[in-house]
């Protein structure tokens, strides 16, 4: 019997509402839309052609320059498509 049970006069063996089963959350893959560029040399900072690697801020995964640039292009395309869809007048 816990402290609160004794304080509120609860008897042992009686439980509050049964705990719900934990809901299964679908494991959604990270879209890697928030990448941060990293450079090996300080003098190369800011130069997109001198990026050494990218790190995704969402999941922490590390990507090569080529992979990072591809993910950034894909993310930009998703944003462009979403903006075009939003700009279209809805029918109905």
Taking the whole predicted model, whether its pTM rises above 0.95 is answered as: no
- Give whole-number Cα distances, 63 to 1, 2, 35, 36, 58, in Å: 53, 51, 9, 10, 13
Residue-wise pLDDT for 60-80, tens only, equals 999 999 999 999 999 999 999
Residue-level pLDDT at 30: 87
Domain boundaries, the chain: 33-92
User: Which residue in 90, 37, 30 sits closest to 63, CA to CA?
Assistant: 37
Segment 6-30 shows an average pLDDT of 66
User: Residue 7 — pLDDT band, cuts 50, 70, 90?
Assistant: confident
21 pLDDT more than 70:
no
């Amino acid at each position: 019997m816990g402290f609160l049970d004794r304080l509120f006069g609860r008897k042992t063996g009686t439980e509050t509402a049964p705990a719900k089963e934990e809901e299964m959350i679908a494991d959604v893959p990270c879209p890697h839309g928030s990448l941060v560029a990293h450079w090996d040399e300080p003098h190369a900072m800011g130069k997109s052609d001198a990026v050494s690697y990218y790190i995704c801020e969402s999941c922490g995964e590390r990507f090569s320059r080529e992979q990072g640039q591809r993910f950034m292009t894909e993310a930009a395309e998703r944003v462009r498509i979403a903006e075009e869809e939003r700009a279209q007048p809805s029918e109905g």
